[in-house]
Structure 1
Amino acid sequence: MDKKNIWIVNHYAVPPELGSLVRHFFFAKNLKDKYNFEIFTSSSIHNTEIEIIENKKSIVSKNYDGVKYNFIKNMKYSGNSLSRVLNMLQFALKVPFISSKKFGKPDIVYLSSPCMISTFFGVILGKLKKAKIITEVRDIWPFSIVDYSEKITEKNIIIKILSVVEKWIYKNSDAVIFTMPGGKEYIVDRKWENKVDLNKIFYVNNGVNLEEFQKNESLIEDPDLNSSTRKYVYIGSMRKANDIFRLVKIFHKIEKTDLLLLYGNGDEVPEIENFIKTNNIKNIKYKGKVPKSEIPKILNKADINILMYLPVENSLVEKYGSSQNKLFEYLASEKLIISNRRYGDYDILESNNCGIVKSCKEDSDYEELLRKSKTLSTEEYQKIIDNSKRVIKEYDWKNLSKKIDDIFENIL
């Protein structure tokens, strides 16, 4: 039997050596013996200065460990500026013109958000190719825009228009995959269940390559990581949405001996570095951005891993759960995790007792969270670690790929 052709359209898809958004790389790698995959993504790699296409070519194909990526020429951008919006528009407008003559006719067009613009045009692509359409929701737009905006509300005319587009996308998809557990509840809350069949709503979260993670848990030469001092570690973006500067200030206030090690990049970094230098702080260190292959080694040396996000009052999406990439890396490290946000009844850490979760609003809440991380009994600590070992197996990319395969078979 001929293999079915799967086109994955994801503005921010990257192979592991170029970034951390590797979800579709592992799905394609694990299922490539059964399907032919073509991944279409932007030539400007998200959160980096990397540009794949430096000449005038409109699309360049590269193979990474047997997975084919097709990089569509896209303008560069920085931060959340106008250039990023234009970058999204440019990519989206090129999506319907992907050639079947060059890449073969797709049986499934698999679209991945968060950008609703490219997903909208991706649905049009699927209709034009007479293919089955899967829409994947990794970030609940447009409500997540409202959550992180100080001025925009859900009554804003742009949000209302985007909500109409969102509903149209779901209605015209053969399957809708939410990376957070509460997808069906979200559809019901929006009162769309009469237009969007709940039977085509699926849940497949993010995950980790456990085999690779454990293989990379080798020793690392770093005096801070090898210190006998208790080490709190944060790995990830350092932007306003992550609220890391607040963590730094609170940690400095209450901790004088334990270490806080920060890895990643973002627009809050200069402010954090300046605060550390100005106050001559010795136990908080910004360690820079590290390759993804180094993350298991770092987490293996940590004592406590920190999951940190800006608290959002009256959040429109928090109750439906979360799907942070770093959460699963933290779980795979089998170390204590503390989180400053509770993601409703779907909170993975709280519901499985594999971390300490506290909805933090005031500085005193953060102080309590940090203190609690040091006062667990041996039995409490070991129970959390044992639960982490059990839970993370569910989120191995191999197991998640089987769920994706089941969805493919369901709609073909």
Structure 2
Amino acid sequence: MKTNIWILNHYASAMYFDRGGRHYNFAKYLRRAGYAPVIFGANSKHGKAERFLETDALWEERIAEEIDTPFVFVRTRTYDGNGKQRVLNMIDFYRNVKKAAKEYAAQHGRPDVIFASSVHPLTLVAGIQLAKQFGVKCVCEVRDLWPESIVVYSSRFTKNDPLIGLLYRGEKWIYRKADALVFTMEAAYDYIVERGWEKDIPRSKVHYINNGVDLEQFDYNKEHFCVDDPDLDDPDTFKVVYTGSIRLVNNLGLLLDVAGHLKERRVKFLIWGSGDEREALEQRARSEGLSNVVFKGRVEKKYVPAIVSRADLNVMDMQEKNELFRFGISPNKLFEYFAAERPVLMYQLDRYNPVMEYRAGFVAQNKDELVSCIETLAGGQQWEAGWTPACSRKAAEAFSYQTLTAELIKILEEDQ
């Protein structure tokens, strides 16, 4: 049994204060299974010129008492935005987490396995190098495809850019050197084949563990943190709920288009969240007389279960087809929607889609189908594939962190 599991995630430190998140939940259930996880993250806040802990020390340990797990806050510079300072912040973490890990090992003992997680690849490189020094296994977790994400989302770079080519070579090196790979994307091996790397990276090395939901915490919050909201409690309207960011990429303008077609129906669109597009969308709703659209603002995450569990239909982002989605999706709110045991409405995604796999909701391919689906459901009829609460609960259980951690343990314990 590989008891001491070190988790490296540059951005994990916020989980200590939020008392939740992917690696927080992994640590929770690893601890219950008899393991001793330790989480290493940066002491600087993501995208803000602030630190979680103000200290000159290379690292500082805090214990997350609810899950009995140490968090090691590693010193890094602060940064604001996505410029040069953010890159230097990544380099800080890469350098300092290795130094901190050695000092931590001298005081608390060596790891039995290292679980290094992206977003950025330097954390994975640090994990591989530390594992080699300690003579232990390194499992690399890829939650974001770098540099593929840069190519898809940036207008500055193409696949033929020399810097992107260098990053692709670095990515391949990581995949080759890691003892095992965990992807949050179901079709990650399709990506490896597309890159032409299958000869160097066997399928047996690649594993899939999506994001998920802590059902225990979800059910507790649903019961103990209720939101008093007359729109949610209105028995005479069909409630379409969206929770999350309100940014251009979420394409909620399309949801307002749909609302415009349903102004005369007993349908109300309730939008929880914040973002730089909220003000413009609110102004548009006012100017178009969309009284059936209500922006509720941001709420603490603990209130989300009570909100989504009282919806008649929970909707995902309205993003147009994305090149990265062909490998799978992993939005956190999808799994909360499953746990709510209410149907989910997904837009355009027709491959590697858990909503379709578990019959946990409905998929529309265009605006007319979105309108038709909501209109049909609001009228008390089914639309396309049938849905039941049991379908959603089955999906939630498949993506519960208790289930996902059991899958992770198999990978961590697997012989190299």
User: TM over 0.5, yes or no?
Assistant: yes
The one-letter code of the counterpart of 2:328 is: G
User: Does 2:184 correspond to 1:179?
Assistant: yes
Unaligned runs of at least 5 residues, structure 2? none
Task: Write the deviation string for residues 286-305 of structure 1: whole angstroms up to 9, x where unpaired.
Answer: 22222221111111111111
What is the correspondence of 1:85-234 to structure 2 with a 5 Å cutoff? 85-103=87-105, 104-218=109-223, 219-228=226-235, 229-234=237-242
Question: Partner residue of 2:284?
Answer: 275
Question: Partner residue of 1:244?
Answer: 252
What count of residue pairs does the alignment treat as equivalent? 406
What is the correspondence of 1:7-406 to structure 2 with a 5 Å cutoff? 7-14=6-13, 18-19=17-18, 22-32=21-31, 33-46=33-46, 51-64=51-64, 65=66, 66-103=68-105, 104-218=109-223, 219-228=226-235, 229-252=237-260, 254-255=262-263, 257-276=266-285, 281-312=290-321, 315=323, 317-342=324-349, 344=351, 346-360=352-366, 363-364=367-368, 366-368=370-372, 370-371=374-375, 373-374=377-378, 377=381, 383-406=387-410
Percent identical residues? 32
| Distance in 2 separating the partners of 1:154 and 1:20 | 39
- Paired residues of 2:48 and 2:81 also in contact (CA < 8 A): no
The one-letter code of the counterpart of 1:26 is: N
Query: Are the structure 2 counterparts of residues 75 and 170 from structure 1 closer, same or farther at C-alpha, using a change threshold of 3 Å?
Result: same
Which one is further off, 5-14 or 120-129? 120-129
- Paired residues of 1:245 and 1:271 also in contact (CA < 8 A): no
Task: Write the deviation string for residues 24-50 of structure 1: whole angstroms up to 9, x where unpaired.
Answer: 111111112522211011223447787
Task: Write the deviation string for residues 348-379 of structure 1: whole angstroms up to 9, x where unpaired.
Answer: 1122222111344xx55654554455456259
Secondary structure of 1:98's counterpart equals helix
| Distance in 2 separating the partners of 1:140 and 1:116 | 9
Q: 1:157: Cα distance to partner?
A: 2.3
Task: Write the deviation string for residues 93-150 of structure 1: whole angstroms up to 9, x where unpaired.
Answer: 3232223332432221211112123222332232233221111111222212222223
Q: 1:403: Cα distance to partner?
A: 0.5
- Paired residues of 2:13 and 2:73 also in contact (CA < 8 A): no
- Paired residues of 2:141 and 2:181 also in contact (CA < 8 A): yes
Q: 1:334: Cα distance to partner?
A: 0.8
Secondary structure of 1:301's counterpart equals coil
Query: Are the structure 2 counterparts of residues 250 and 76 from structure 1 closer, same or farther at C-alpha, using a change threshold of 3 Å?
Result: farther
- Paired residues of 1:95 and 1:122 also in contact (CA < 8 A): no
What value does the CA root-mean-square deviation take over the aligned residues? 2.8
TM-score (norm 2): 0.87
- Paired residues of 2:321 and 2:349 also in contact (CA < 8 A): no
Unaligned runs of at least 5 residues, structure 1? none
Question: Partner residue of 1:5?
Answer: 4
| Distance in 1 separating the partners of 2:79 and 2:375 | 41
Secondary structure of 1:146's counterpart equals helix
The one-letter code of the counterpart of 1:408 is: L
- Paired residues of 2:376 and 2:382 also in contact (CA < 8 A): no
